[in-house]
Chains A and B, each alone.
Chain A
Amino acid sequence: MLKRKKRNEAIENALADMARHKGGGSEFIQRMLRNKTGMIGTCICFVLIILCAGAPIFTKWDPYEQSLASKFILPNMEHIMGTDDFGRDLWCRLLYGGRYSLLIALGSAVISTVAGLVLGSCAGYFGGKTDLIITRFLDIIQAIPGLLLAIAISSALGSGPFNTMLAIAIGNIAGGARIMRSTVLSIRGNEFVEAAKATGSRDARIIFVHILPNTIAPLAINASMGIGGSIGAISGLSFIGLGVQPPTPEWGSILAVGKTYIRDFWPIVLFPALFIALTIFGFNLFGDALRDALDPKMRD
């Protein structure tokens, strides 16, 4: 009895491996390296992450310490991007602020991907009524524009990094769930799934061991392509005072403060705006490159 179970597992795993095998890692890296715009994007993301993660190394100032004597200083050798309305170094605030923007974006991507994965794989795998209910629910959620839903949810949850992460994530679930559903639907008909069913595997085992590994590529593509948009949405929420609030140095909240001084002091508007745009640009290019490298068929 035990032997038979083991053998069945071996067959299942071999079949799943065969289905999983697509070119391998080295080809993926080669494809990534060959893509020039993709490399630009990857470099931008890489440099930004290094700068933000190692913020204390790249700046000698403190993001919170105020010094009213030195407020609104134009960019010079000491403060390369000038200082803000409380005399805090802008370069320093932007680097520390990037930690919030990037971490919230990554966190919300993880949350929405996991939620989308669960919803989408249930809908795709079980089909029938489950599928109907979930897709109808997604229809309803998608009738509300993502940013608007995020605004409504974050106004209910209140401000703060974690709530912002949640609000953005909920707004993004539907897209991932749909992709997951269609991927699972296309995999479900494959022979290795039938083989697994024939050997008596439980549903949970089929989903986790046989189907999920094959959906990683589309999910990773969807998540990485969404990060740029999430950063824009996070800063947008903070910009209108719903996301992360001052004195926390988030890019959108710095920009919001800058808006009040727009007539008199340009650096506090220009630099956060450039940081937001550059980051989204980098992550968009990176997401496109990842898509092209992981799944050349999906290339638009």
Chain B
Amino acid sequence: MAKYIIKRILWMIPVMFGVLIIVFTITYLTPGDPVITILGTGYTPERYAAKAAELHLDKGYFGQLFTYIWNIISKFDFGKSYFSNIPVAREFATRVPITATIGLISVAALALIGIPTGVIAAVKQYSATDYVLTALTLVLAATPGYVLAILGVLYFGVKLRWVPIAGLGSFKAWILPLLTNSIPTLSIVTRQTRTNMLEVIRQDYIRTARSKGLSEKVIRRKHALKNCLIPIVTVIGTSVAVVMAGSVITENIFNIKGLGTYLYSGILSRDYPIINGSVLLIAFIVCCVNLLVDLAYMAIDPRIKAQFINTNKKKKKRTVDEGVD
């Protein structure tokens, strides 16, 4: 199994290289010359050449790409912002914790609230609670985070004046960003849990467990929920990607100085090191989460774990199965 985990981790390296090349190419192909943007009008050819050399922009596509990759690998240097001259890596150090905190709390909230709510809706199928929850999750899953955010600001911030409408100064200020980050995906987790629970509850082994005289609580937790965790974990994993990408828009609404606003500022001013570095970092986080999700599968389901412990013969079968799926 350790072999599989190592292989899985090593696979991240080519993926990250691929992401790096794609992102770099996108910004490279963007029309407009950064040197002219930085120097403004009235520069001399010498100053132009000096600036271009300083930013390694005089090297052509492959030269630039290799310098960029080499600097990241050897010095963890993502380059400097064209305009503020602050190294991108240093900005990351102050901004990533903010975005990560919001993201972690949001994801934790959507797991801790979404799963129990889904279980309740499934156990009480066709009751009023179920109908209300289903309708609510349908509506909320359809509302993008930024729409929720701006409606929240309008109602709770401007009309009721319960929460401040920007920044993260006080405890109250965290409420809206967290809610708007987690509610859309929370609804999806709830729906996923409900449908999977409904499927599992009808299985024979649940009836067996009941006839053994186990309490409903134990059946729900140990027999039913455990068996439908895999798709739920998958949804939670994808929600991380949604929350990270959504941070560009939500942080912009609440004026939070995180990774999202940083990337946004980079896009507005066409500050390519910022764009490249931020997208790369977010892709890295998403990759790590995918890895964790894969490892979680093994922790949840002994059958999946068994595939990696058994002999080579079984392993071959697995690759075939994977191919068909």
Which residues of A are in contact with B by a Cβ distance under 8 Å?
37, 136-137, 139-141, 143-148, 151-153, 155-156, 158, 182, 185-186, 228, 232-233, 235-236, 239-242, 255, 258-259, 262-263, 266, 269-270, 273, 276-277, 280-281, 284-285, 300
Interface of A is mostly: helix
Return 18 A-B CB contacts under 8 Å, by A number: A137-B18, A140-B22, A146-B241, A147-B242, A155-B270, A155-B275, A182-B324, A182-B325, A185-B323, A228-B142, A240-B249, A263-B158, A266-B154, A266-B158, A270-B154, A273-B147, A277-B144, A280-B142
In the complex, how many angstroms separate the beta carbon of A79 from the nearest chain B beta carbon? 19
- Those of B243-268 within 8 Å (CB) of chain A: 244-246, 248-249, 252-253, 263-264, 267-268
Given known pairs A140-B19, A145-B242, A239-B146, the reply for A262 and B325 (CB within 8 Å) is no
A140 touches which of B15, B144, B267, B279 (Cβ 8 Å)? B15
- For A270, what are the chain B residues with a Cβ–Cβ distance below 8 Å? 151, 154
B19 touches which of A144, A258, A285 (Cβ 8 Å)? A144
| B151 x A273 contact (CB < 8 A) | yes
A141 touches which of B22, B30, B252 (Cβ 8 Å)? B22
| B23 x A232 contact (CB < 8 A) | no
The complex places the Cα of A145 from the Cα of B259 at a distance, in Å, of 15
In the complex, how many angstroms separate the beta carbon of A25 from the nearest chain B beta carbon? 28
B88 interfacial contact with A, CB 8 Å: no
Which residues of B are in contact with A by a Cβ distance under 8 Å?
14-16, 18-19, 22-23, 26-27, 29-31, 138-139, 141-144, 146-147, 150-151, 153-154, 158-159, 165, 192, 195, 241-242, 244-246, 248-249, 252-253, 263-264, 267-268, 270, 275, 279, 282-283, 286-287, 290, 323-325
In the complex, how many angstroms separate the beta carbon of A291 from the nearest chain B beta carbon? 13
- For B252, what are the chain A residues with a Cβ–Cβ distance below 8 Å? 240
| A144 x B139 contact (CB < 8 A) | no
| B22 x A144 contact (CB < 8 A) | yes
- Chain B residue nearest to A231 in the complex (CB): B144
Given known pairs A140-B19, A152-B26, the reply for A147 and B245 (CB within 8 Å) is yes
- For B142, what are the chain A residues with a Cβ–Cβ distance below 8 Å? 228, 277, 280-281, 284
| B253 x A145 contact (CB < 8 A) | no
- Chain A residue nearest to B264 in the complex (CB): A240
A145 touches which of B138, B151, B268, B282 (Cβ 8 Å)? B282
- For B245, what are the chain A residues with a Cβ–Cβ distance below 8 Å? 145-148, 151
B248 touches which of A151, A185, A258, A300 (Cβ 8 Å)? A151
In the complex, how many angstroms separate the beta carbon of A139 from the nearest chain B beta carbon? 6
- Chain A residue nearest to B266 in the complex (CB): A155
Given known pairs A232-B144, A262-B150, A262-B153, the reply for A151 and B267 (CB within 8 Å) is yes
In the complex, how many angstroms separate the beta carbon of B263 from the nearest chain A beta carbon? 8
- For A156, what are the chain B residues with a Cβ–Cβ distance below 8 Å? 26-27, 29-30
- For A236, what are the chain B residues with a Cβ–Cβ distance below 8 Å? 144, 146, 249
In the complex, how many angstroms separate the beta carbon of A69 from the nearest chain B beta carbon? 26
| B279 x A144 contact (CB < 8 A) | yes
- For A139, what are the chain B residues with a Cβ–Cβ distance below 8 Å? 15, 18
- For A241, what are the chain B residues with a Cβ–Cβ distance below 8 Å? 268
| B141 x A259 contact (CB < 8 A) | no
- For B23, what are the chain A residues with a Cβ–Cβ distance below 8 Å? 144, 152
A276 touches which of B144, B248, B264 (Cβ 8 Å)? B144
The complex places the Cα of A239 from the Cα of B253 at a distance, in Å, of 10
Given known pairs A155-B267, A262-B153, the reply for A148 and B138 (CB within 8 Å) is no
The 10 A-B pairs of least Cβ separation, nearest first, read A140-B18, A145-B245, A281-B142, A232-B144, A147-B245, A145-B241, A156-B30, A148-B245, A277-B143, A280-B142
- For B242, what are the chain A residues with a Cβ–Cβ distance below 8 Å? 145, 147
Given known pairs A151-B248, A240-B249, the reply for A280 and B26 (CB within 8 Å) is no
- For B30, what are the chain A residues with a Cβ–Cβ distance below 8 Å? 155-156
Candidate in A182, A233, A262 with the most chain B CB atoms within 10 angstroms: A262
| A144 x B286 contact (CB < 8 A) | yes
